Structures are given as structure tokens and as C-alpha cells.
Chains A and B, each alone.
Chain A
């Protein structure tokens, strides 16, 4: 952990993540207004003492909406990634440990699915399931599964031939035991690093879905949806699109920086540079 904070990237990333975490946990408590209450006399205002980040087209307080929306947007990224990582890791680790034709067959299918861009994959699944946060989250995690499976598998392949795994096989341990107790703890590093960086992608895809009207639905305070709703008034009040837009970018930046710093601290060769 001290390693992480030493590099400027790690420090900034950690600070941003703490900020985002605080918004998720304390956001609704800190919000000065009800995020849904209209203030008809204060529509599309810039920042002021009454409304620190200004108001939207219905006079809703942007700071309050932002604080409430953190749970939607960031939790979406975390949830979708966690699900994708778990399913992907199970597939990848299983393929890597078992090997042989099962491994080849799984990998060929994954290669095929990887040829579909993440966003396109997500859009197809969302269309199949229907719009809404829950479905969108499931869609992103399914779209992430092939990529995560590949990474988990390659992490496993480098461990598979180590002595302690061969010893476990020689002892006649079950596959479940070998995967759970010998391989996974040693393959977890690259998986965690990739997962951290992917949270930012998941958040951005989630916000994009909200923006396109396929994710969160009004009057949700999801940040992508906030941008979409404010777009009609963007020339009159650029403030309204900038606030949620910058919030998404900062949260994504936090995960990106933290993930890269995490990778450097796992990889001593990179750390020296």
C-alpha cells in the first residue's frame, strides 16, 4: 500500500477513489437538497451560494443530484465488473487448468466473442433484455466475460507448470481444490489489476447506455442520463452537461490511475523505471 502512494499517479488515483467512495457512502446525507425537488424560480442557474454547482432545467440542485447519482454510476461499474470478473475468471481458470481440447474449444469461442466490440455487445444484450439499470449491468458483465477469461487463463497458464501445482496433481487432489487453493491465489494479481481498470470502462459504458436511453431511466440521477437530459439546454447552460460529464471523467480517471499504480506495484520490473 505504501508503494502505491509513493507514485504521483497512485496518490492522485487513491485520492479520487476515496472521494468517489465518500460520495457513494455519504452522498445522500451530504446533499443539501432533495435531488428530485423542483425549484421553478431557479432554473438553469450557474453556481451560487444557494446552489453550489448550479441547477438543471427543472431547477433541481445539481450538487445534490451528483451526490445521489454516485451510487448509481459507480456502483454500476463496480457491480458489472465484479460479475464479469467472477464469471470470466471461472471460465478462464477452468480452461487453463484443464487444458487440452476443452481449453482450445473454449478459447476459440471466446476469440469469436472478443471480435465484437464491448459497447456493441452490450447494446445487443440490452436490446434483448430491455432497458434498465439491472439489465444494463448484466449486459456489461457478459460483454466483459470473454476478455477477463482470456486474462485469467493466461495468468493460470504461467502457474500451471509450477512445482506446487504439479505436486497437488500428483497427490491426486480434486480439480476444485487445485483451482481454489493452489492456482487462484497465485493468479489473482493480474486479474485484480485488469478488473480495477475495467471498472472505469464499465462505468463509462453504463453512463453511455444511460445517455442513449437504454440504461438508467428518468428521473434517476445516473450521471450519463443527467448529461443526456441537459443536452437540450446545453447552449443556454453548458454548466448542466459539464458537471455530470466531468464527474464521470474524474471517477473513471481515479480507477485508471489506481489500476496502473496497482500494476506497477505488482510488477517490480516496471517499478524500477
Chain B
């Protein structure tokens, strides 16, 4: 990989984050009622409002406020939550760890299940197994997370079956099996949508590769089918599949918002919903920026991995 390629990609990520930070800031500027109103409530006197606005620096021009906020983000000073009176950085750090555990569980599950499914569907194209996998994929992409989650709770966490807890969180460090029981349903909800999407994409990439000239050439020279798959087809179908997985991290980040809210999982999604309901601006801005950062970073990593796997990208 050339240093130039790396530098270009890094610059692009920074630019993306700058655009996001500005967009988020702009949205919070347009929100009716500023931070002073949020702190003091609706019945504050104008004098009180003026005093708090002065203390928070809300009377400065928006450009100064933006740069000040952005500078704070870089220094690790993310401000104070207006409702919880705790530093935003600390709140986000603990929520981030919880969300990461949920997302990682879902992502690993999905990768282990979806890629073999997609490959199987492509190899056995047109058979009943392919049809079944395709059908599953369609059902998965057509179910919103809140429907899947609700149905899973009804059938697996109800008072009668009671196989899993209907919500809550247990730290894996304190009680590992408790964590597994609690993570099962939320991770399962997220996995259904992602498995559907990734299996479908893997199938289509693999089908393209299997129809290519080099796979035909490999077969014609008498290579056994497993060797054709392992040596020629798989490596070429892998790069686009990785790209799809990194795009799906975007879905995952949207999905955790709903899923955490439903399963009372104390992660970024739940924190965000809480902040949105309470108009807690510093928290809203912080969480949004962190989610965008995760997405941009995962795209960067996938680009780099693809560049390592696929020499055509590296030298393009």
C-alpha cells in the first residue's frame, strides 16, 4: 500500500468528520430553546436566562461557539450533560463500551453465519437450499428491528417460556453467563437483518465470480471443485464482501439505537434516545459524532483491508 493512498483515505475521513460535526452543530443551533432554557426550565426569568447564557458563552457568534466546541472535542473536554450533570465524555465512554460489546457480538455472529450461507447459496444456485436462503434474506431485510425485537421478546422472554431475560444488562466481567443470556435477544435482533443482507450480497458476489473467465479456466485445467472455490473464487469474492460488511456497520449503528431502547441495554443508543427526549444538547452532539466516527473509521479499515487483499485497488 502506498503512503499516498493511506494519506488520501485519512484526509477523506477527517473531512467527513468535519462535515458531520458542522451538520450536528448546525442542527443544535436551530433547535428551539437554547441550553440556558434547558437548564433553568420554562419558568426562568429573563435575568436568570441572561446570566446562564453569559456563563455558557451562548451570546457569542455561532462561529466562535463552533470552534470552541470543536477545540473542546479535540482536548477531550466534551462538556457537561445538561440533565445528568456529569461530564459527557465519561457518559459516552461507558455507554460506548456496552454498545461495542453488543455490536461486536452481533457482528461476529453475522460474519460466521452469513458468509458461509451466501457461499452455499451461490454454489448451489437454483436449488431449494438457495431458494430457502433467499427467502430468509428477504424476510430479514423486510422486518424493522422493533418488530423483530418485540416478537422475540413475546416468544422467547414471556412469562411462559422465559428462556431469556426481556431486557437489561449484566457486565461480562461480573457474570459471564448472565451477560450471554442478556445479549442473546438484542444481538439476535441485530443479526437477523445483517445476516439477511450480507448473505444476499455474498451470494451475488460469489455468483459473479463463479461465472467469470478465470474460474472457468481453473475448472477447464482440471482443478477439483473445492480447490477452485478455495483458491480462485473465494479470494476474489472476499473483497466486495468486506466492503458490504463495513457498509452494514452503518445499519448496525442505526439498529442499536432501537434495539438498546427496547432491551434497556445501557449503550450509546439508549443514551441518545434519553438525550433526545430531554434535549440534552452536549450529549446529543457527542453521541452523534462518536457514531459517525465509528462508521467512518470502519469504512477506512475496510478500505485498507481491501487494498491489502486486492492489488488492483492498491495501485489504482
Residues of A within 8 A of B (CB): 9, 108-109, 111-113, 115-120, 123-125, 127-128, 200, 204-205, 207-208, 211-212, 224, 227-228, 231, 234-235, 238, 241-242, 245-246, 248-250, 252-253, 256-257, 273
Q: When each residue 206-217 of chain B gets 1 if its CB lies under 8 Å from chain A and 0 otherwise, what string results?
A: 010001000000
What's the Cα separation between A211 and B295 when bound, in Å? 25
Cβ of B18 and Cβ of A125 under 8 Å apart? no
Cβ of A238 and Cβ of B155 under 8 Å apart? yes
10 contacts between A and B (CB under 8 A): A116-B20, A118-B250, A120-B254, A124-B276, A200-B142, A234-B154, A235-B160, A238-B158, A242-B151, A256-B138
Cβ of B291 and Cβ of A120 under 8 Å apart? yes
Which A residues lie within 8 Å of B272 (CB)?
Answer: 120, 123
Which B residues lie within 8 Å of A249 (CB)?
Answer: 139, 142-144, 147
Partner of A231, one of B150, B284, B296: B150
Cβ of B292 and Cβ of A116 under 8 Å apart? yes
Counting residue pairs across A and B whose Cβ atoms lie within 8 Å, the total is 135
Partner of A117, one of B24, B253, B276: B253
User: CB within 8 Å of A: which of B272-291?
Assistant: 272-273, 276, 279, 284, 288, 291
Q: Does B103 contact A (CB under 8 A)?
A: no
Cβ of B254 and Cβ of A241 under 8 Å apart? no
Which A residues lie within 8 Å of B142 (CB)?
Answer: 200, 249-250, 252-253, 256
Which B residues lie within 8 Å of A200 (CB)?
Answer: 141-142
Which B residues lie within 8 Å of A273 (CB)?
Answer: 207, 211
Nearest B residue to A254 via CB reads B142
Residues of B within 8 A of A (CB): 12, 15-20, 23-24, 27, 30-31, 138-139, 141-147, 150-151, 153-155, 158-160, 207, 211, 250-251, 253-255, 257-258, 261, 272-273, 276, 279, 284, 288, 291-292, 295-296, 299
What's the Cα separation between A113 and B16 when bound, in Å? 8
What's the Cα separation between A124 and B19 when bound, in Å? 15
With contact pairs A117-B250, A245-B147, A245-B151 given, residues A127 and B284 touching in the complex (Cβ less than 8 Å):
yes
What's the Cα separation between A128 and B261 when bound, in Å? 20
Nearest A residue to B296 via CB reads A115
What's the Cα separation between A139 and B207 when bound, in Å? 37
Q: Can you list the 9 inter-chain pairs with the closest CB atoms, starting with the nearest?
A: A112-B19, A119-B254, A117-B254, A253-B142, A245-B147, A252-B142, A204-B144, A238-B154, A112-B16
Cβ of B139 and Cβ of A253 under 8 Å apart? yes
Partner of A120, one of B18, B158, B207, B257: B257
With contact pairs A109-B19, A241-B154, A257-B138 given, residues A118 and B254 touching in the complex (Cβ less than 8 Å):
yes
Partner of A116, one of B31, B146, B154, B288: B288
With contact pairs A111-B16, A127-B31, A256-B138 given, residues A227 and B150 touching in the complex (Cβ less than 8 Å):
yes
**Of A111, A113, A115, A128, which is in contact with the most chain B CB atoms at under 10 Å from its CB?**
A115
Which A residues lie within 8 Å of B16 (CB)?
Answer: 111-112, 115
What's the Cα separation between A273 and B258 when bound, in Å? 38
What's the Cα separation between A256 and B193 when bound, in Å? 13
Which A residues lie within 8 Å of B153 (CB)?
Answer: 234
**Of A200, A205, A227, A235, which is in contact with the most chain B CB atoms at under 10 Å from its CB?**
A235
Cβ of B146 and Cβ of A224 under 8 Å apart? yes
**Of B12, B27, B31, B276, which is in contact with the most chain A CB atoms at under 10 Å from its CB?**
B276
Which A residues lie within 8 Å of B143 (CB)?
Answer: 245, 248-249, 252
Cβ of B258 and Cβ of A119 under 8 Å apart? yes
Which B residues lie within 8 Å of A207 (CB)?
Answer: 144, 146-147
Partner of A252, one of B144, B150, B261: B144
Which B residues lie within 8 Å of A204 (CB)?
Answer: 144
Which A residues lie within 8 Å of B279 (CB)?
Answer: 127
Cβ of A208 and Cβ of B20 under 8 Å apart? no
Which B residues lie within 8 Å of A235 (CB)?
Answer: 154, 158-160
What's the Cα separation between A241 and B138 when bound, in Å? 21
Which A residues lie within 8 Å of B155 (CB)?
Answer: 238
Which A residues lie within 8 Å of B31 (CB)?
Answer: 127-128
Cβ of B288 and Cβ of A120 under 8 Å apart? yes
Partner of A111, one of B12, B150, B255: B12
Which B residues lie within 8 Å of A234 (CB)?
Answer: 150, 153-154, 158
What's the Cα separation between A145 and B130 when bound, in Å? 34
What's the Cα separation between A224 and B146 when bound, in Å? 9
Cβ of A117 and Cβ of B251 under 8 Å apart? yes
Partner of B146, one of A108, A125, A227: A227
What's the Cα separation between A245 and B144 when bound, in Å? 9
Nearest B residue to A238 via CB reads B154
What's the Cα separation between A238 and B145 when bound, in Å? 17
Which A residues lie within 8 Å of B253 (CB)?
Answer: 117, 120
What's the Cα separation between A234 and B155 when bound, in Å? 10
Given contacts A108-B15, A208-B258, A238-B158, 17 further A-B contacts (CB under 8 A): A115-B20, A120-B253, A120-B272, A123-B257, A124-B284, A124-B288, A207-B146, A212-B261, A224-B144, A227-B146, A234-B150, A241-B154, A245-B147, A245-B151, A248-B143, A252-B141, A273-B207
